[in-house]
Amino acid sequence: MSVLIEKNKSLQAYNTFGIDAIAPFFCRVETVEELQEVLQMEQFRQLPILILGGGSNILFTRDPEGLVLLNRIAGESVEKEDEDHVWVKVGGGQNWHDFVLYTIAQGWGGLENLSLIPGTVGAAPMQNIGAYGVEIKDTFSHLEAVERESGQLRVFTNSECEFGYRSSIFKTQARDKYIIASVTFRLHKKHTYNTSYGDIQKTLLELGIEELSLKAVSDAVIRIRQSKLPDPKKIGNAGSFFKNPVINTQLFKKLQEQYPNMPNYPQNDDWVKVPAGWLIEQSGWKGHKRAQIGVHEKQALVLVNYGGARGADLKQLAADIQASVEEKFGIQLETEVNFI
Ligand code: EPU
């Protein structure tokens, strides 16, 4: 067994923004053993290593250094089951949406609201992906990760992952220390449906669905996402570019006097989440275009590459948006996308 190492490889096909960055060294691993083999190679021990999953949450503002390692670790298996639940283990390099469709076909509930999210299974826990009222932490059991330094496999339970809104330990203390090899979800054989968020109910009606099923909810979510979010295969983008900010209730009340229609999601007595998309739209950016880049016309949270853009230009656009939202609302937007 030997992993092929390529040199000066274009990463354009490996990031959903479609930025043409060049990796000095590049390889693809399909098993934990291949991953461990690469980590032990003498030539890479002193070099930075960048792990790519689906490349759907990354913006290359320059060429990366060292080795770019594409995680394509595959496999699906049932670890155990009882009357109500099944624990299904899936390789970190599998495509997320394909895996969601597989669980739905098996009749296992819990991931249907997370249909059509771009990216891989291994990247999902890193930022605790979420949509339509569900986050992966809700069905996540544990994961196996390879420690970069030692090459050893280690298990992280749900609480050890320290999940938060678009966050986990892999974005904080354990950043750049582990590579996620597999994730195990505890899925439901008896279903409860979460259709309270946003347009799901309305879309189910539009689709003429009378009886709820995992597939019906998934179909509704797919339809909503397709209507609002650009397809990265057609227009380069990385989904939400910013996180929804959480502001203190005092600031929120002050803003609400001025903007009574400001959408809001109270987190507790002290904190309120407000949609970044709304703040950006109110600041006049929705549909903005400059050369090959812009702000999506149907969802202001999404920055797009119409073709041939440089990552640095998108970074500048993001900074301009942050400055104008801060000036108008006194709110600092944090990026959800990772910059290289
Ligand atoms: N809104 C606007 N203008 C816009 C966009 C949104 O006024 O241009 C308003 C909407 O009218 C609505 C509110 O903002 O009142 C929320 O909008 P939406 O339901 O579209 O969701 P979001 O908060 O903008 C979040 C996630 C998405 C996820 C959706 C659905 C974040 C950063 N984004 O977006 O996740 O799909 O909810 O659950 O939390 C992603 O992370 O890449 C992503 C797409």
pLDDT band at 198 (very low <50, low <70, confident <90, very high): confident
CA–CA gap between residue 221 and residue 210 (Å, rounded):
16
Q: For residue 211, what is the domain's CATH number?
A: 3.30.465.10
The tens digit of pLDDT for each residue in 251-270 reads 999 999 999 999 999 999 99
Residue 106 C-alpha to ligand 1 middle, in angstroms? 30
pLDDT value for 90: 98
Report yes or no: 245 and 274 within 8 Å, Cβ to Cβ: yes
Q: Does residue 36 share a domain with residue 102?
A: no
Q: Does residue 45 share a domain with residue 90?
A: no
Q: Does residue 216 share a domain with residue 295?
A: no
Q: Whose CA is nearest to atom 24 of ligand 1?
A: 277
Kindly report the backbone phi and psi dihedral angles of residue 68, in degrees, each rounded to the nearest multiple of 5, phi listed first: -105, 125
Contacts of 84 (CB under 8 A, 6+ apart): 188, 189, 190
Range 23-38 average pLDDT: 96
Catalytic residues: 166, 240, 336
For residue 39, what are its two tokens? 């980590």
Q: Does residue 210 share a domain with residue 249?
A: no
Q: Does residue 255 share a domain with residue 309?
A: yes
Q: For residue 332, what is the domain's CATH number?
A: 3.90.78.10
**Local structure of residue 112 (DSSP, 8 states):** G
Partners of 178 in the β-ladder: 147
Average pLDDT of the chain, as a whole number: 95
The tens digit of pLDDT for each residue in 114-154 reads 999 999 999 999 999 999 999 999 999 999 999 999 999 99
Domain boundary among the residues 188, 205, 228 is at 228
Q: Does residue 107 share a domain with residue 23?
A: no
Q: Is the CB of 128 under 6 A from ligand 1?
A: no
Q: Whose CA is nearest to atom 29 of ligand 1?
A: 131
185 pLDDT exceeds 70? Answer: yes
pLDDT value for 299: 95
Q: Does residue 40 share a domain with residue 84?
A: no
Domain boundary among the residues 20, 46, 71 is at 71
Range 190-197 average pLDDT: 92
1 pLDDT exceeds 80? Answer: no
Q: Does residue 60 share a domain with residue 170?
A: no
CA–CA gap between residue 112 and residue 134 (Å, rounded):
9
Range of the domain at 315: 236-339
Range 205-210 average pLDDT: 89
47 pLDDT exceeds 70? Answer: yes
Classify 85 as helix, strand or coil. strand
199 pLDDT exceeds 80? Answer: yes
For residue 201, what are its two tokens? 């109910």
Q: For residue 33, what is the domain's CATH number?
A: 3.30.43.10
pLDDT value for 44: 87
pLDDT value for 167: 94
pLDDT value for 67: 96
Q: Does residue 89 share a domain with residue 48?
A: no
Per DSSP bridges, beta strands 178-188 and 140-147 are antiparallel
Number of domains in the chain: 3
DSSP-assigned states of every residue in 277-312? HHHHHHTT-TT-EETTEEE-SS-TT-EEE-SS--HH
Q: Does residue 125 share a domain with residue 67?
A: no
The tens digit of pLDDT for each residue in 293-304 reads 999 999 999 999
Range 76-94 average pLDDT: 97
Contacts of 206 (CB under 8 A, 6+ apart): 223
Mutate-to-test residue for ligand 1 from 301, 302, 338, highest number of ligand atoms within 8 A of CB: 301
pLDDT value for 106: 97
Q: Is the CB of 263 under 6 A from ligand 1?
A: yes
Q: Does residue 306 share a domain with residue 180?
A: no
Mutate-to-test residue for ligand 1 from 138, 240, 283, highest number of ligand atoms within 8 A of CB: 240
Q: Does residue 281 share a domain with residue 143?
A: no
Contacts of 99 (CB under 8 A, 6+ apart): 76, 90, 111, 121
The tens digit of pLDDT for each residue in 266-318 reads 999 999 999 999 999 999 999 999 999 999 999 999 999 999 999 999 999 99
Cα torsion at 58, 63, 68, 73 (round to 10°)? 30
Q: Alpha carbon of 279 to those of 197, 227, 249, 264: distances in Å?
A: 20, 20, 16, 11
pLDDT value for 46: 85
Residue 1 C-alpha to ligand 1 middle, in angstroms? 45
Domain boundary among the residues 197, 228, 259 is at 228
Looking from the CA of residue 238, the nearest atom of ligand 1 is 42
3-state helix, strand, coil in the chain (%, to 5): 30, 25, 45
